[in-house]
Amino acid sequence: MIVDAQSVKNTDSAERKGYDAGKKVSGIKRPIAVDTQGLPHAVAITTANVTDRKGALAAMERCASNLQSVQSVLVDGGYTGRPFAEAVQKKLQARVQVVKRTELHTFAVLPQRWVVERSFGWLEKCRRLWKNCERKINTSLQFVHLAFLTLLLRKL
């Protein structure tokens, strides 16, 4: 399983929002966990001020029944730390593998990390998800589920 989060800007109609200082985005965050094909197994929506680690744990907790067979969780450097690894071990009995860059300021495709980025790219094809236009966070979550369902049906 591969985990990452995407920060998305809000429109004025949004009821709740936070500020992601790292990406300088005021809005929401979409933590997702995908398999090696990019298909989602855990999705959550949080305000942007929630850390990637807490958001990923919220997604895993929300969808724990879908993740029983997970043995390894592949993450980027933003998820480094013993508390996150221990929480994943406790929830899923899976080990966390952190994939770090070898050199700063150089582009390199990190092994398997591109899969989750491709899944975010699939979401960006849905115009309604470019920004968070929804008033309630739960409505945003349902539109993400609907977008992934539409993509899966197109693949059939």
Q: Map out the domains of the chain as residue ranges.
A: 2-155
Per-residue model confidence as pLDDT tens digits over 100-137: 766 555 656 566 778 898 999 998 888 888 888 889 98
Percent of the chain clearing pLDDT 90 (strictly above): 46
Residues ≥6 apart with Cβ < 8 Å to 87: 57
* pLDDT higher than 90, residue 151: no
2-155 CATH choice from 3.30.460.80, 3.30.420.10, 3.40.640.10, 1.10.3720.10: 3.30.420.10
> Rounded mean pLDDT of 13-36?
89
Name the pTM for this structure.
0.85
CB 16 within 8 A of CB 137: yes
What is the predicted pLDDT for the residue at 52?
Answer: 92
Q: Locate 61 and state its tokens.
A: 């907790």
> Rounded mean pLDDT of 64-86?
89
Q: Output 99 or 43, whichever has higher pLDDT.
A: 43
What is the predicted pLDDT for the residue at 103?
Answer: 56
27: left (phi over 0), alpha (psi -120 to 50) or beta: left
Q: Locate 121 and state its tokens.
A: 């790219």
What is the rounded CA–CA span in Å between residue 85 and residue 21?
24
* DSSP per-residue string spanning 47-105: ETTS-HHHHHHHHHHHTGGGGTT--EEEE-GGG-SHHHHHHHHHHHS-EEEE---SSTT
